């Protein structure tokens, strides 16, 4: 590891960056360095601009990939290299205004039935039942399941915050069956490497295969299960503030996006066409 990479890693650790964020930022800086075949310490604003143009027009990078690169370079030059030009010279791309794709209750049930492997079925049920991020699910410990209080403890979730989410009685039944079968001792969903949890990559592989077997056309992923959890709660009448706390959102504005995809909210809005009186009756179908 180069001294600069070590310094940047340490700078992120002392600021409580998650291991995943550290990994993404370091990889982004490595790609930036390889693009110019030089140490980032020898590069400046013009190289940053050139690299951004490359990411957008040639690499066709997604919005999230582009912004990870920008965030990593901004951190590198502002914090680790202490350059005073970095903040103004590294702009962010505007995020496209898109709405989350949601699974219906029937689609969630159908998808869960497709999962034959008990471990992965329980993992998907837990993800949907709690709305946890996949990183939070994979780092759950066996001791985090509190059946006495019917809660699940999420230790150091996003933003380095602990929180609790309700434990569904149905989920608890499946968790007990899973525990008696698999006997996990530390991580609730251990991976193949001893002492380590399942990887995101493995979960994505399983979900992709199950989605194809289910015949559902939507591109199912763990994040969609989280979106579906929030939307279904909203449609059932759960207060949006409670949903915000369960999801671990810092801002209510982030949670409020689910009101735009809630069928209950949409159907509760009457079209002004219905207020018009004296309209002619529609003609009979031929």
Are 117 and 257 within one domain? yes
Per-residue pLDDT of the chain (286 residues; tens, 9 = 90+): 789 999 999 999 998 888 889 999 999 999 999 999 999 999 988 899 899 999 988 888 888 889 899 999 999 999 999 987 766 667 777 766 667 788 888 998 899 999 999 999 999 999 998 889 899 999 999 999 999 988 889 886 555 577 888 888 999 999 999 999 999 999 999 999 988 999 999 999 999 999 999 999 998 999 899 888 888 888 878 777 887 888 887 666 666 665 554 445 444 444 444 454 565 565 565 5
Are 176 and 234 within one domain? yes
Q: Which pLDDT score is estimated for 17?
A: 86
Are 121 and 198 within one domain? yes
Are 70 and 123 within one domain? no
Residue 9 DSSP class = H
Q: Which pLDDT score is estimated for 123?
A: 95
First to last CA, the chain: 77
Q: Which pLDDT score is estimated for 237?
A: 80
Q: Which pLDDT score is estimated for 100?
A: 75
- What residues make up the domain containing 45? 3-89
Q: Which pLDDT score is estimated for 29?
A: 95
3-state secondary structure 55-69: HHHHCCCCHHHHHHH
User: Which residues, at least 6 apart from 189, have a Cβ–Cβ distance to it below 8 Å?
Assistant: 119, 123, 137, 138, 140, 197, 198
For residue 29, tell me if it sits in a domain: yes
Are 29 and 56 within one domain? yes
Q: Give me the CATH number covering residue 132.
A: 1.10.443.10
For residue 272, tell me if it sits in a domain: no
> The pTM is what?
0.66
Q: Give me the CATH number covering residue 82.
A: 1.10.150.130
Are 82 and 224 within one domain? no
Q: Which of 200, 190, 64 is nearest to 119 (CA)?
A: 190
Q: Which pLDDT score is estimated for 97?
A: 64
Q: Which pLDDT score is estimated for 9?
A: 94
For residue 280, tell me if it sits in a domain: no
Q: Which pLDDT score is estimated for 269?
A: 46
Are 137 and 209 within one domain? yes
């Amino acid at each position: 590891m180069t001294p600069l990479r070590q310094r940047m890693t340490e700078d992120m650790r002392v600021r409580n960056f998650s291991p995943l964020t550290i990994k993404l930022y370091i990889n982004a800086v490595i790609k930036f360095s390889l693009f110019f075949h030089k140490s980032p310490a020898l590069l400046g604003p013009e190289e940053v601009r050139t690299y951004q143009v490359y990411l957008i027009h040639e690499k066709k990078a997604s919005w999230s990939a582009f912004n990870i690169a920008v965030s990593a370079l901004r951190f590198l030059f502002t914090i680790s290299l202490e350059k005073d030009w970095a903040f103004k010279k590294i702009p962010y791309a505007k995020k496209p205004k898109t709405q989350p794709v949601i699974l219906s209750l029937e689609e969630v049930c159908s998808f869960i039935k497709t999962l034959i492997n008990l471990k992965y079925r329980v993992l998907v049920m837990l993800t949907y039942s709690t709305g946890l991020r996949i990183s939070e699910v994979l780092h759950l410990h066996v001791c985090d399941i509190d059946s006495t209080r019917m809660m699940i403890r999420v230790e150091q979730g996003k933003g380095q915050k602990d929180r609790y989410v309700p434990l569904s009685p149905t989920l608890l039944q499946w968790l007990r069956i899973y525990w008696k079968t698999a006997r996990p001792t530390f991580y609730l969903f251990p991976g193949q490497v001893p002492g380590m949890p399942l990887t995101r990559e493995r979960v994505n592989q399983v979900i992709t295969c199950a989605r194809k077997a289910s015949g559902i056309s939507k591109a199912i992923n763990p994040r969609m299960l989280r979106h579906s959890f929030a939307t279904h709660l909203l449609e059932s009448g759960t207060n949006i503030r409670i949903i915000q706390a369960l999801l671990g959102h810092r801002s209510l504005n982030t949670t409020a996006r689910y009101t735009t995809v809630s069928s209950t909210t949409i159907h509760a809005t009457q079209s002004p066409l219905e207020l018009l009186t004296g309209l002619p009756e529609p003609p009979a179908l031929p």
